[in-house]
């Protein structure tokens, strides 16, 4: 599955979440935010992210993590090392 092909329904299935209107609204925000985060982090455009299958997995994992951890408080400010390493492999932003 390509990065651009991931839908709200895919996220609902991946997260094993209830398929109701409230969940769909949450997933829409999460999906848009995570796609933007990945593209900003890597510096890749829409066509380039579609060529890298690893990024689809990272999209699903980060989205599930955001859905599971919707609390306002944050325990730490660290990014999961697995998806950070995958993002770093494909990053063009070296700042």
* pTM summary value: 0.78
What are 9's two structure tokens? 């329904």
CA–CA gap between residue 9 and residue 90 (Å, rounded): 26
User: For the segment 42-84, what is each residue's pLDDT rounded down to a tens digit?
Assistant: 999 999 999 999 999 999 999 998 898 775 445 566 667 766 7
Question: What pLDDT digit, counting tens, does each position of 21-43 carry?
Answer: 999 999 999 999 999 999 988 99
Where on the phi/psi map is residue 42: left (φ > 0), alpha (ψ -120 to 50), or beta? alpha
- Chain-centroid distance, C-alpha 76: 19
Are the C-beta atoms of residues 43 and 93 closer than 8 Å to each other?
A: yes
Query: What pLDDT, on a 0 to 100 scale, did the predictor assign at position 86?
Result: 74
Q: Hey, where are the domains in the chain?
A: 3-89
Q: How far apart are CA 72 and CA 51, in angstroms?
A: 34
Q: What is the CATH number of domain 3-89?
A: 1.10.3230
């Amino acid at each position: 599955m390509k990065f651009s092909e991931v839908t709200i329904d895919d996220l609902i299935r991946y997260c094993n979440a209830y398929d109701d209107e409230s969940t769909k609204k949450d997933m829409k925000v999460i999906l848009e935010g995570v796609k933007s985060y990945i593209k900003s982090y890597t510096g890749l455009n829409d066509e380039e992210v579609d060529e890298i299958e690893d990024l689809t997995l990272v999209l699903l994992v980060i989205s599930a993590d955001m859905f599971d951890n919707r609390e306002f408080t944050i325990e730490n400010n660290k990014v999961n090392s697995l998806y950070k390493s995958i993002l770093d492999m494909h990053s063009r932003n070296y700042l």
